[in-house]
Structure 1
Amino acid sequence: MSAGDDTTPAARLRLLQNEFLQPGRGRHHERAAKASTPSLPIRVAIYDHIQAAVAEATEHTRAVAPHAGPRPKQAEKTYEWMVEQTAHLDPDRQRNRDALIYRQGLEHAIVMGESKIICRHPCPGCGTWGLFWRRDAAVCVNRYCADDDGVARTWTLQQIAEDHIARKESAAQRAT
């Protein structure tokens, strides 16, 4: 990955902190009427998202590696720390860790307004490309990938992340 790569979960977390945390910054500048009282110096929802992501990653790491060293102070280094502290785990636990990191990266992108990132993933059920994000779930566009009532199948970010990690691992095994 290049130094300017903003597609990793760590880079997205750093971007959230640097560009989206403060009001009026970032790509999605919010227009508002002049208030009689000053606004908060940060976007609380973005701050809460960052804190929740770091807390989840830390709790997951400590649950599977109780003797893990201290978490880095910089939030974006949490994922690197997670991988280092859990490198000794069995492959299943490492896949769970990788899926958590990937899912959080998807969440960071969606919080930044980049919901089209979901289109870059095939449907976990039928393999069709063309998922789209609707409120809280990814929806498959394939009309044959529907439930018994004809309703389009939906997928959580966790399911997409698990499918992505499994496909990545399968491709790596085929390449060797």
Structure 2
Amino acid sequence: MGNSRTEDAAVQAKLAGHRLRLLKEVFVTPPRQADPGRRARASTPSTPIRPGVLDHAAASVDEIITHTRAEVPRVSPAPRNDSVYQWALDNTRHLDPERQRALDAKIYQQSLEHALMMGDDLAIRRHSCPACGCWGLFWMAATQAAGCVNRHCADKDGRPNTWTLQQLAERHVSAANTARRNAT
């Protein structure tokens, strides 16, 4: 890419865009139930879309646009679709590495959010535990955090150590930058 931003940032932007597009194209409509036979018809039709998915997609795009415009006030018009991630990377290439990493982490965090919205909790399991290093993270939807299954990796009350998606994203981006620096 010609600057301090890693190739991983472009890959993650493409993945986040792909997941956002999938959310909008596939996961907006509720899954169809098999017809159990004769039944009474509802007096009001069911919602043909899952509004939470559309709200999530719109909020994600808005967040990236807002973040990019805060960093670069005079920026080209933003796309309102999955190409917003590449738009953000393209318009922040000149920023210092710290500010680039902040955007890269936000994009990675949103990619994880999109995966979880689609029911793909394997996106979380691909991260090692920041505390003990084991590969036993799992998504806890009730607390909106990733927890470690290692029983020795717990807080003082015996509950699993937990990490937010933001923490996992920042760690991932930091590790990618460290690996790039060490490879040269």
Q: What range describes the TM-score normalised by the shorter chain of this pair?
A: 0.7 to 0.9
- Deviation string 1:112-159 (CA, Å, 9 cap, x unpaired) is 011121110011222221100111110012223222222210000000
Which residue of the partner structure matches residue 4 of structure 1? none
Aligned residue type for 1:128: C
Which residue of the partner structure matches residue 11 of structure 2? none
Gaps of 5+ in 1: 2-6
TM-score with structure 2 length normalisation? 0.83
Structure 2 CA distance, aligned partners of 1:31 and 1:169?
48
Which residue of the partner structure matches residue 73 of structure 2? 66
Which structure 2 residues correspond to residues 155-174 of structure 1 after superposition, within 5 A? 155-174=163-182
Gaps of 5+ in 2: 1-6, 8-13
Aligned residue for 2:139, secondary structure, equals strand
State the 1:89 CA deviation: 0.7
Which residue of the partner structure matches residue 115 of structure 2? 109
Which residue of the partner structure matches residue 42 of structure 2? 35
State the 1:62 CA deviation: 0.7
State the 1:30 CA deviation: 5.5
Aligned residue type for 2:116: I
State the 1:39 CA deviation: 2.8
Say how many residue pairs are matched. 167
Question: Which structure is richer in relative contact order (CA contacts within 8 A, separation 6 or more)?
Answer: 2
TM-score with structure 1 length normalisation? 0.87
Which structure 2 residues correspond to residues 13-92 of structure 1 after superposition, within 5 A? 13-24=20-31, 29=32, 34-73=41-80, 75-92=81-98
Q: Is the 1:124–1:159 contact (alpha carbons within 8 Å) kept by the matching residues of 2?
A: no
Structure 2 CA distance, aligned partners of 1:140 and 1:111?
21
Structure 1 CA distance, aligned partners of 2:27 and 2:149?
31
Distance 1:13 1:89, change over 3 A: same
Structure 2 CA distance, aligned partners of 1:91 and 1:30?
49
- Deviation string 1:30-60 (CA, Å, 9 cap, x unpaired) is 5698532223332111000001101111111
Moved over 3 A (4+): 29-34
**Which of the numbers 129, 133, 147 marks the counterpart of 1:127?**
133
Q: Is the 1:99–1:161 contact (alpha carbons within 8 Å) kept by the matching residues of 2?
A: yes
Let me know the Cα RMSD of the aligned residues.
Answer: 2.1
Aligned residue type for 1:162: E
Distance 1:143 1:163, change over 3 A: same
